[in-house]
Chain A
């Protein structure tokens, strides 16, 4: 299944009732749209289209405006994210120690470019500026676990360790 189709399938099964309770205290307060969308994202892990449409309708905000706001801020994710978020550090120290090669290897293993999620919604690959663990360079985080002093050939084993 393509990633688009996957998203569509996931979206179809969205239960929108949690959005109702999220919206309750905010009805009529269009200026609160960012906190609303943060809560919606907290619930679903991203901003599913049906939830966006529902918020737009209930808050009487055009969908275009809502989409404009949520695509402006990097914190909002418009696609489902993987259960495991891989953050590859692109800070100076990691860069010198070969983080581009690490990222390349992960992209190859997962068959996705940086910024994307695997079709099985297991991994999302992201690049971050610095995670503050320069002593371990090159370093990545998978959810809350740091993996340091990496080399491309270690990557398969690390990814395989996540179920």
Chain B
């Protein structure tokens, strides 16, 4: 269809058919006021503030819903239009409290702004006004529905984007309101406290509690940070006044999270100002911690490390680093430990994701999620299995919902009735732990019905014949018996997944782990490769991690068997490269991993440990055993923001800066390296991890020369080929997805496009393990079956010191 030519305020423009007058005007830079319009929601034309005059039209038209027509002549600021808008505002003010002096929304209120613009100071209409009670029941925000202008954006976001469905319009006419069912308090509704309603409310009806009395919008400064919780790495603007974070909002049009956040990003940053922060170096003397100077602490550490190293050798030292610390922190950490002559460097969280990493590594040659989070929205079919993204990675859940809204077929395989089932085309409530059997069953149907992509399999993969053989017994009938599903449903789902042009799989590294990690991920990789759904847009395999920089910490070399950039210790060239770069000899002996230390019943050679930002003792099972193992050490240093269960066992505790207090980069699950800016200054004696490590390295006699994190990053880029083209200057606006190998490289959205990282994709038959299913059933009895058990993977040292600990609906925060 040809473009439509119209004139708006004397300017001519050509737009695509279907474009609304509002969109056309905005393309010309002409501002039209709106209350109820949101680009993400279907237009509803309810508020009428966007009316414009169209020549020859009988009445004024709502520009947000009226399509641009050929040869239309539109006036957006005619007298008639202005009068109509004034009337409209006057009607709104007739039933709106005018307490702007104390209203927290003052300065960012659309109603106030438009009344100012159109010179409407009070209403000429006098009549009944609403007198509704406040809803003050929850910890997060206040609802004052007397201020609501019924634009409906909060309802649209809650019902469609988030899918929480906590609120809707109720009743009708004058008493129309927005509320949960039965006008329950929001606390008792299905609200997930993502704050999207708050961020989009044009007036002061929804106010986050953290802001009360703290400051006006024009008094705060916004700083862009990366969310410290899950591995999506959402971009947040922290609002700061007088060195205090007093609010947060999503960064507009962020490539990761667009304008969306979840409860963690919207409300979870307040631990930064917790009274529990460690604010000075502490040394344990006679069983109690005593505050010391940094010099004393470092001196003490160096003496002990050198002493133990001298007596027992370098492999008696071990370092555990945090997947929440920045790339720079993690890089320097492993550099320090390795400079001491050992490869005993790892992260305790390995038990949450290591086997899914291994599975992806084996199949594709790269453990990272293959595609971009944003691409999920554009897929034709999506299989969600082994996890509930609404709990573990809510923004990913929003994208899955968007895909479903856009017409994609949604297949949900989860033992629980998770929220996504609401919008699913296929609900496969399988027995806990039988995921591998189901995925094998889907693959079996695809092969036996000839739905596989032969060309892709032939050109891009290997091992198909063995896979085919291995899958033979997983007939729909056999799989139906194991999973408790209907065989016809299994067949239908397989056909739908296979017939989609682009199909994505969404899982969860932590849940994969419980379901037989490596097995499930490999089975999923088989499914994706069988149908040619790897290496193309809006397809692939999403296995996001739990921690915001898990990807980055692994990229940095927080792994006992590989150096920065997954370069192998075995390779002499690699060792020589690092030896030269670091000015130390690199040991070729692979180090001990965290599981070998914590889960091994035999004693290890480790005598001293340096733990940066991790809390193994406060995590999950066997806490006593882990504490015992740490107590047995001759020397333990813990560097953390809080006095965690682990820190309390240390000989020295070093106070570290929190995410909001430091500059650094983080790499999210889609391999996007993002720069996080310091929003506030840390307390006086508290320093960023990287700075502490640089200082300690100097005390240990290493010659490190970094003016700041930017220098550290430059060194990382020089040693990690995938990061080569990335630098702080390029990251200031937007993150870059590795591999990004030179200055001009715009990064890689989709992995494995022409060939797999390992060359050819490797199929491998995976057997369903009934024992694992039994284990999962036990798990299910102890906790929920579907979600991300942060209670087992993360120690919650941040979230339990945040208001988000008040949110009990999900088990993930």
Contact = CB atoms under 8 A, between A and B. Distances in A.
A66 B171 CA distance: 11
Given A49-B182, A64-B179, A71 B159 contact: no
Interface in A60-79: 60-68, 71-72
B181 A67 contact: yes
A62 B182 contact: no
Contact of A63 (B171, B172, B190, B421): B190
Interface in B156-177: 159, 164-172
A67 B182 CA distance: 6
A3 to B, nearest CB: 15
Contacts of A56: 181
Contacts of B190: 62-64
Nearest to B171: A71
B543 to A, nearest CB: 27
Contacts of A60: 421-422
A84 B172 CA distance: 27
A64 B172 contact: no
B172 A62 contact: no
B220 interface: no
A63 to B, nearest CB: 3
A62 B159 contact: yes
Interface in B397-433: 421-422
B332 to A, nearest CB: 48
Contact of B172 (A49, A52, A65, A72): A72
Contacts of B421: 60
B189 interface: yes
Nearest to B183: A67
A63 B164 CA distance: 10
Nearest to B167: A64
Contacts of B618: none
Given A60-B421, A60-B422, A65 B182 contact: no
B181 A66 contact: yes
Interface in B185-230: 189-190
Given A52-B181, A60-B421, A60-B422, A65 B171 contact: no
Nearest to A69: B168
Given A52-B181, A62-B159, A68 B166 contact: no
B725 interface: no
A63 B189 CA distance: 9
Contacts of A62: 159, 164-166, 168, 181, 190, 422
Interface in A27-67: 49, 52, 56, 60-67
A158 B165 CA distance: 48
Contacts of A49: 182
A56 B166 CA distance: 12
A76 to B, nearest CB: 11
A114 to B, nearest CB: 16
B787 interface: no
Given A71-B170, A72-B172, A65 B159 contact: yes
Contact of A68 (B164, B168, B189): B168
Contacts of A64: 159, 165-168, 170, 179-181, 189-190
Given A49-B182, A56-B181, A63-B180, A68 B169 contact: yes
A29 B565 CA distance: 52
Most chain A CB within 10 A, of B159, B169, B189, is at: B169
Contact of A67 (B159, B170, B172, B422): B170
Contacts of A63: 165, 180-182, 189-190
B185 to A, nearest CB: 13
A68 B165 contact: no
Contacts of A68: 168-170, 181
Most chain B CB within 10 A, of A56, A61, A64, is at: A64
Contacts of A67: 168, 170, 180-182
A149 to B, nearest CB: 34
Contacts of A66: 181
A67 B155 CA distance: 13
B387 to A, nearest CB: 19
A99 B312 CA distance: 102
Nearest to A56: B181
B422 A65 contact: no
Nearest to B427: A60
Interface in A1-37: none
Given A62-B168, A68-B170, 12 more contacts: A61-B165, A62-B164, A62-B181, A62-B422, A63-B180, A63-B182, A63-B190, A66-B181, A67-B170, A68-B168, A68-B181, A72-B171
20 contacts: A49-B182, A52-B182, A60-B421, A62-B165, A62-B181, A63-B180, A63-B181, A63-B182, A63-B189, A64-B159, A64-B165, A64-B167, A64-B180, A64-B181, A65-B159, A65-B168, A67-B180, A67-B182, A71-B171, A71-B172
Interface of B: 159, 164-172, 179-182, 189-190, 421-422
Top 6 nearest A-B pairs (CB, nearest first) are A62-B165, A63-B181, A68-B168, A67-B181, A64-B168, A64-B181
